[in-house]
Structure 1
């Protein structure tokens, strides 16, 4: 079933209910939300000749229009390709070309126009709205089958080259239903606040709130601003939101200064990176019993394990601190195991790779059968994350087999940063690792061997990186070395480099 059917049904049931809000101001009711999405769908079909199954990209910051575009894409039977708004235009252009997108919605990104393939049209929302009130709308969403694609989510692999995760209607249905069972109930009076990017987990959580007819709120800042949320939440009431652990830490720090203690909040779902034990204890002390943790990946969206509100608050269990440091038991629609390199299940407490199977697991990687075969074996998704299961089925993340750096809830893959730096004429060798950061969770550190007697300046390297990759991926620290530590096979020993940065 087409995901847009949920919006149509809610609009019929509660046409006048507030749907889209900018801050506290209502922008559209549910009937208006559905009508505008139908208009976007018709514009895609008639003006841009988008057919069912075609891909349509969105490269924009959060806005209420973003949700109308998503549902307009689904009205037309097309596949949404949300692109992280923080990416460099060159990175966005790669995703557009790889996905074969017919059209991309942007907001004032002029540089992207010259980088797009000739097969992709660009629609600039700052110049022209997606529709006008006089535009006719599609009479109904295009019928779609369970295994048809709905969302093409790009996430980098271990090489740093982005891969398109194929999420079907059935995948997203399973994710949505599991939320109600394993994460939280959703009420019509709730306000889903999108402080995290709609292109990622926060956007995936729109479906539950559309089904229940809740309010969808984009803060006026367009993103995460701790002071703004402290003011906005009490005025909205019944706020639910998805947040990265680093966002919560910054929010708690701001709340301590203002005396805010969680008024107006109902549920904060956190995930997308490691939550340190001290941080969740501090958050609960400041905001109260409002937290639920989820663990998932783009390849199994938001739906591997969950740590309930009750588990987070329970202090009576003899191992409550261990549970609080875990990511909880498997969600209801998946099976989770911890295995060795040969796929043999590990005993309780033994570290191994986390594998998962079930209805939310992706169909595979777009146009990348080799990567699909490597990641999905005998029906199990190999996550690349290392962990342990206790005797009660609670999963604890122990390490990541991939060297991904999670900064502010966003994945940064060392290889793509290394490749960018190696294009600088004064860089001979480079290795990138993550360093713990109280503000961002982790930050990027680059170890560099210069090719010239005079090492390049930090300013020059920063400018170089900004010309090739998104600014948030650039190193925060550059350390110059005479040589990088390597093993007998010539592989750089990143474990040794991580030891070195402990003193910086």
Structure 2
């Protein structure tokens, strides 16, 4: 079944219900939302030759038109490729080529140069062509969404691996429908009077969570700032009420800090779903103290979107259970659409309390990696997705994550992959060796630290910053550089990142040739 049918049906049943807002200003009712998406789908097919199975990319900040375009793509049986707007155009270009996208929609229509891979070309979301296509659509031209098989590609989500190259995760209509259905069972009820707020990027988890709110006929709110602003969220909560939104732990921390200073106790906020990185127990306790029991937790991956484990508001806020503290430190229990196990290296189930790799099987697990059978075979074994995360179950089925077997850095809820940063640094003529790790950070969860072995004269950190900005997204560049005489390695020549982490934890990196900035060279 085509997921766009949910919008089609809601447009018929709740035509006058507010569907899209920019801040408090109404952008579209559900009848208008469905009509515009239908018109966009028809325009994609007639003007640009987009059809079933074709890929259409969206590379822009959050905006009300994002959802109209997303559903317009699904309406005609094509697949959406949401690209993180914070990526460098060069990185987005790689995704477009790998996905063989026929079209990319951007905020300005002038993000990419003219050498996009044929037949892909760029269109401005608010450009005359798209605006006119919607404005000129006639009421009698409206048609329901085309049929789509459950196993058809709906959302091609690009996530990176330890190789540093992004991999396209194939999420089907069935995957996403089960994800959305499970939400109401395991995470939080979905109410027609909800205001689903998009303060986190719609290309990721926040955007994935649109489907259940469309089905319920709730209103979707895009902040005027197009991002996360605690003062704005407070104002929207007070003006609209029943705000529900997904937030990375660093966003929760910023909101709680603002609330404590402003004397804001969370009026108008119904539920905050946190995930995408570790939420430290002390931060969660402070959040509950300041804003009350408004928090639900999810743990998932792009390969099993938003659906591995969860804790509802009742579970997170419960104080009357003898294991309340340990449960809050966990990531909850298996969601109802999946099986979750902790296994050893031979895929044998670990005993209760024993640490092993977390694996998951069920209706939300991806259909595979886009045109990458080797990576798919390595990630999915006998139907079980190997998450690369280490954890343990308690006797009540609550999963606690203990570490990550991969070196991914999660900063502000966004994955940063060290190999990608290292490759950018190593192209600098004065960088001989580089190794990148994450260091705990009180606000962002982790920050990127690069250990550098340089050649020749002293290298300015500002030069390295500029070098990285020219090749990768700004948020990925190191926040700290540690210049060393050599990198610790094992007998096979592999850099020992565990040793680098230990040195940072001790506060005394060994073999320092220079400090973390130009003023601390020794």
SS at match of 1:189: coil
Is 1:481 paired with 2:484? yes
Partner of 1:81: 81
CA distance in structure 1 between the aligned counterparts of 2:232 and 2:156, rounded to whole angstroms:
32
CA distance in structure 1 between the aligned counterparts of 2:120 and 2:403, rounded to whole angstroms:
40
Deviations 1:182-205 (A, max 9, x none): 011111110000000000000010
Deviations 1:242-298 (A, max 9, x none): 000110001100111110010001111110111000011111111111110000000
What is the CA distance between 1:329 and its match in structure 2?
0.7
Residue from 185, 190, 194 that aligns with 1:181: 185
Partner of 1:389: 393
What is the CA distance between 1:114 and its match in structure 2?
3.2
Residue from 474, 489, 498 that aligns with 1:471: 474
What is the CA distance between 1:119 and its match in structure 2?
1.9
Decide whether aligned partners of structure 1 residues 7 and 306 sit closer, same or farther in structure 2, where only a CA change above 3 A counts. same
CA distance in structure 1 between the aligned counterparts of 2:83 and 2:128, rounded to whole angstroms:
20
Is 1:154 paired with 2:158? yes
What is the CA distance between 1:116 and its match in structure 2?
1.8
Number of aligned residue pairs: 503
What is the CA distance between 1:140 and its match in structure 2?
1.6
CA distance in structure 2 between the aligned counterparts of 1:227 and 1:479, rounded to whole angstroms:
36
CA distance in structure 1 between the aligned counterparts of 2:476 and 2:114, rounded to whole angstroms:
23
Is 1:195 paired with 2:199? yes
Partner of 2:339: 335
Alignment of 1:301-340 (within 5 A): 301-340=305-344
- Are 2:158 and 2:169, in contact at CA under 8 Å, matched by a contact in 1? yes
Deviates more, 1:45-54 or 1:312-321: 312-321
Aligned-residue RMSD, C-alpha: 1.1
Residue from 135, 138, 142 that aligns with 2:137: 135
SS at match of 1:445: strand
- Are 1:54 and 1:78, in contact at CA under 8 Å, matched by a contact in 2? yes
- Are 1:41 and 1:138, in contact at CA under 8 Å, matched by a contact in 2? no
Is 1:490 paired with 2:490? no
SS at match of 2:112: helix
Alignment of 1:236-275 (within 5 A): 236-275=240-279
- Are 1:105 and 1:125, in contact at CA under 8 Å, matched by a contact in 2? yes
Residue from 227, 231, 235 that aligns with 1:227: 231
Residue from 440, 445, 458 that aligns with 2:449: 445
What is the CA distance between 1:115 and its match in structure 2?
4.6
Partner of 2:437: 433
SS at match of 2:145: coil
Question: Once superposed, which parts of structure 1, at least 4 consecutive aligned residues long, lie more than 3 Å away?
Answer: none
CA distance in structure 2 between the aligned counterparts of 1:109 and 1:102, rounded to whole angstroms:
15
Partner of 2:54: 54
Is 1:414 paired with 2:418? yes
CA distance in structure 1 between the aligned counterparts of 2:131 and 2:111, rounded to whole angstroms:
24
Structure 2 unpaired stretches of 5+: 509-522
What is the CA distance between 1:109 and its match in structure 2?
5.9
Partner of 1:28: 28
CA distance in structure 2 between the aligned counterparts of 1:361 and 1:467, rounded to whole angstroms:
35
